[in-house]
């Protein structure tokens, strides 16, 4: 019996371990080694930190780096503000028989690729787009307004493309919450803000943390939305990485930038977990 159990466990774990090793561990080790490869004064291969020094010596690189982190954090916060009322309405206010239907409606826009969704927003917001056409037809404006290629529309696109990954953990957390907790607090005279901050938020904290981690990682590593909706001046760090790899063919510098982005995301997630006093395993469970 033990042999069969071990064989089954081995069969089950082998694909997972292969996926982790081949697609995560080995590529990141190679990324680190590539970022440290260079040449000495005589043109011979040598280990060097010059690619990392380039990042700190060039203002545009670390400025873009910090800007990307700040906007990714802002995207995470805004996504929470947008999706929490939706998740609360689906789980606690609407009738249970409509919960599944509303959840499907929430998921439907994400059945198509991110590229199609972003282009949909571009069709709405561009100068010859739907919104400008309606505003001109109603006489509200005389000339089209360029709504694309700025930080506001870029943030809107990032929030929109990340909503699902915040909504699902929130719905999952709030579904397990007993409604009698809210009713009891209300009967005891607690105000709505007190109920929200003392009961609802602590109970949904694991879902909030899980969603925040996923949304932050997606926003930080997003390339498509900042490039299309933010334009050439989006100053997103993934665009710097793309330029080093594809445009400049400087794979060593691109690897250094990529590893710095990995370190940044890991540090911010670690700091967030420490501040909220949660463990990564519980937050993602």
Q: Average pLDDT of each block of 10 consecutive residues along the chain (285 residues)?
A: 68 82 86 86 79 88 91 95 93 84 84 86 87 88 86 92 91 86 84 88 88 92 90 84 88 91 86 73 55
Asked if 90 and 102 touch (Cβ cutoff 8 Å), the reply is: yes
Q: Which of 195-220 are b and which e, b meaning 16 or more Cβ less than 10 Å from the residue's Cβ?
A: beeebbeebbbbbbbbbbbbbbbbbb
Angstrom distance (rounded) from CA 32 to CA 260: 10
**Other beta carbons within 10 Å of 238:** 20
Q: What is the pLDDT of residue 186?
A: 82
Please list the residues that pair with 39 across neighbouring strands. Answer: 45
Angstrom distance (rounded) from CA 152 to CA 30: 37
- Spell out the residues 6+ positions from residue 213 whose beta carbon is closer than 8 angstroms to its own: 269, 272, 280, 283, 284
Q: What is the pLDDT of residue 282?
A: 56
In the chain, the DSSP E strands lie at: 37-39, 45-47
pLDDT digits (tens, 9 = 90+) for 254-263: 999 998 888 8
Measuring CA to CA, how many Å separate 265 from each of 165, 184, 217, 221, 278? 17, 40, 7, 9, 17
Q: What is the pLDDT of residue 5?
A: 65
Angle (nearest 5°) at CA 71 between 155 and 135 = 20
Q: For tokens 């802002």, what's the residue?
A: 74
Q: 58-284 domain in CATH 3.30.499.10?
A: no
pLDDT digits (tens, 9 = 90+) for 202-213: 888 888 988 999
**Structure pTM?**
0.86
**Other beta carbons within 10 Å of 27:** 12
pLDDT digits (tens, 9 = 90+) for 126-138: 888 888 889 898 8
Asked if 148 and 225 touch (Cβ cutoff 8 Å), the reply is: no
- The residues spanned by each domain of the chain are 58-284
Q: What is the pLDDT of residue 79?
A: 96
Closest CA to 32 of 20, 43, 40, 24: 24
């Amino acid at each position: 019996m033990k042999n069969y159990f071990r064989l089954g466990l081995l069969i089950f774990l082998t694909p997972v371990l292969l996926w982790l090793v081949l697609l995560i561990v080995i590529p990141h080790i190679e990324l680190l080694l590539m970022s440290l490869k260079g040449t000495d004064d005589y043109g011979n291969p040598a280990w060097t930190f010059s690619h990392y020094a380039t990042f700190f010596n060039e203002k545009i690189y670390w400025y873009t780096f910090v800007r990307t982190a700040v906007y990714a954090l802002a995207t995470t916060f805004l996504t929470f503000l947008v999706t929490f009322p939706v998740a609360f309405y689906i789980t606690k206010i609407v009738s249970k028989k409509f919960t599944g239907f509303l959840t499907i409606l929430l998921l439907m826009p994400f059945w198509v690729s991110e590229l199609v969704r972003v282009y949909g927003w571009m069709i709405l917001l561009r100068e010859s787009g739907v919104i400008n056409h309606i505003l001109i037809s109603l006489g509200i404006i005389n000339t089209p307004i360029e709504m694309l290629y700025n930080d506001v529309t870029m943030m809107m696109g990032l929030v929109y493309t990340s909503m699902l990954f915040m909504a699902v953990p929130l719905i999952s957390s709030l579904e397990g919450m007993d409604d009698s907790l809210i009713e009891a607090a209300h009967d005891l005279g607690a105000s709505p803000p007190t109920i929200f901050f003392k009961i609802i938020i602590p109970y949904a904290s694991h879902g909030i943390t899980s969603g925040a981690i996923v949304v932050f990682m997606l926003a930080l590593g997003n390339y498509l939305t900042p490039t299309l909706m933010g334009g050439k001046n989006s100053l997103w760090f993934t665009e710097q990485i793309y330029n080093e790899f594809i445009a400049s063919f400087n794979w060593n510098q691109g690897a250094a930038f990529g590893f710095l982005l990995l370190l940044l995301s890991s540090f911010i997630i670690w700091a967030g977990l420490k501040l909220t006093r949660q463990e990564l395993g519980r937050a993602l469970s």
